[in-house]
Chain A
């Protein structure tokens, strides 16, 4: 695959940057995320996490299902802050 292919669209992280992160010591999806921001975008990794997992697997010789996925973070979907925090002016 070309190093310039975008793997995480939300954060525009390329295949090459993910390879560099793995070379740098990342062995988990969180490890790649901390080094590249892949998975930190608007979709919170829903689109890119599986591909990142596969790339780590192929580079480190693990099975994709053995690569630790990202830590799950609340909320599941983006929420408008006014809904939670109650806009006192309304």
Chain B
């Protein structure tokens, strides 16, 4: 029998991997997290930070987000850290014209039926919540329970709390193989040596497909690039989180888009202002492999839409652009749970543009699966084993 380095090995030091590590360590497990670069060096270090239930598809995804918000609510206290968490800053999905407004209205009915409080507002009402909005817009969907958070602070806070519980972190260590004993997964090969444990969790985000391949599985997880722009710090002008009315179409049904540039680059618009005054504006949704560059055409497109929505942005300077890779799965749902035929191997990857929001609940359910063998609510819809039924 091999030596054992930990009860559980977690691959990937983004918000998902650190959340799972913390939740497992809280339940008494000895955890070893292995990260190729540094914590937050993947998508968690290059994204927005909305916790917005109204951008989730009504049904399982919405339910999961609402469950996640319940965990988020007490997290600052539990981790004993400031996460810049704003529970009820509210979210607006802003519509430029009647077509968008009708589309978003339809979706608002589904969200309401799913148990979420949302309201359709004319532009005059929307401007009472967000006075910076242009009066030329049509209106907005308003979700009072939308929030935001600081993903860096959350990831490092999870790490610190997990370390207090005895978890170990190996940065600059790349997983290169999955060690099996018969069917069972019992450890990982890395560029720094082999490590053994009773269970291995794949939390490698957009790289989760590569890790699964090492175990012999073909999970389709693709990097979906998103470009973002950061402004100089300015006085508070944006209070909620916002995105365009076509957000859901770009995310879930890009094939329905007619505008050529929007279709090619998946250009949409979202905006938030962080605690230090910087405004973060996005976004694109592009399949270009792991190419981290930002492009002038996309930056122009994003800023153009942003100024149409918030005219006073025209006089504010932007100081940085960057891009990140959403871990995209073809059915827009993360793979969460044990994998048939590989006892001890768990997937926790493929959160696309929802990984920050869903990190809190992902940590809890993976820990429940590994420690108790079942979860406090039905997670079947997210089971990785759905790939075998295709």
Q: Which A residues lie at the B interface, using CB under 8 A?
A: 11, 24-28, 30-31, 34-35, 37, 40-42, 44, 73-75, 78-82, 84-89
What sequence of 0s and 1s flags, for each residue 345-387 of chain B, a beta carbon within 8 Å of any chain A beta carbon? 0000000000000000000000000000000000000000000
Q: Report if A81-B317 is in contact (Cβ < 8 Å); known contacts: A25-B171, A88-B307.
A: yes
- Tell me whether B322 and A73 are in contact (CB under 8 A): yes
Contact call A82/B307, Cβ cutoff below 8 A: yes
- B107 sits at the interface (CB 8 A): no
**Would A79 and B321 be within 8 Å (CB), given that A27-B38, A84-B300 are in contact?**
no
Interface size class of B (residues with CB under 8 A): 35 or more
Q: Is the interface of A mostly helix, strand, loop or mixed?
A: loop
B190 is an interface residue with CB less than 8 A from chain A:
no
Q: Is the CB of A75 within 8 A of B322?
A: no
Q: Which residue of B lies closest to A73 (CB)?
A: B320
A80-B316, A81-B303 given as contacts; is B311 within 8 A of A87 (CB)?
A: yes
How far, in angstroms, from A87 to B136 measured CA to CA in the complex? Answer: 14
**Min CB–CB distance B228 → chain A (angstroms):** 11
A88 to B96, CA, bound (A): 15
Which partner residue on chain A sits nearest B311 by CB separation? A89
Residue B318, interface by CB 8 Å:
yes
Given contacts A26-B38, A31-B38, A34-B45, contact A85 B320 (CB under 8 A): no
Contact partners of B171 in chain A: CB under 8 A: 25, 27
Task: Let me know if B319 and A75 touch, CB within 8 A.
Answer: yes
B319 touches A81 (CB 8 A): no
Whole-angstrom CA separation of A12 from B118 in the bound complex: 39
Q: Using CB atoms, name the residue of chain B closest to A83.
A: B314
Q: List 29 A-B contacts (CB under 8 A).
A: A25-B38, A25-B171, A27-B38, A27-B172, A28-B38, A35-B156, A40-B320, A41-B233, A44-B319, A44-B320, A73-B321, A74-B299, A74-B320, A74-B321, A75-B321, A78-B317, A79-B317, A80-B317, A81-B307, A81-B313, A81-B316, A81-B318, A82-B307, A82-B314, A84-B300, A85-B307, A87-B307, A87-B311, A88-B307
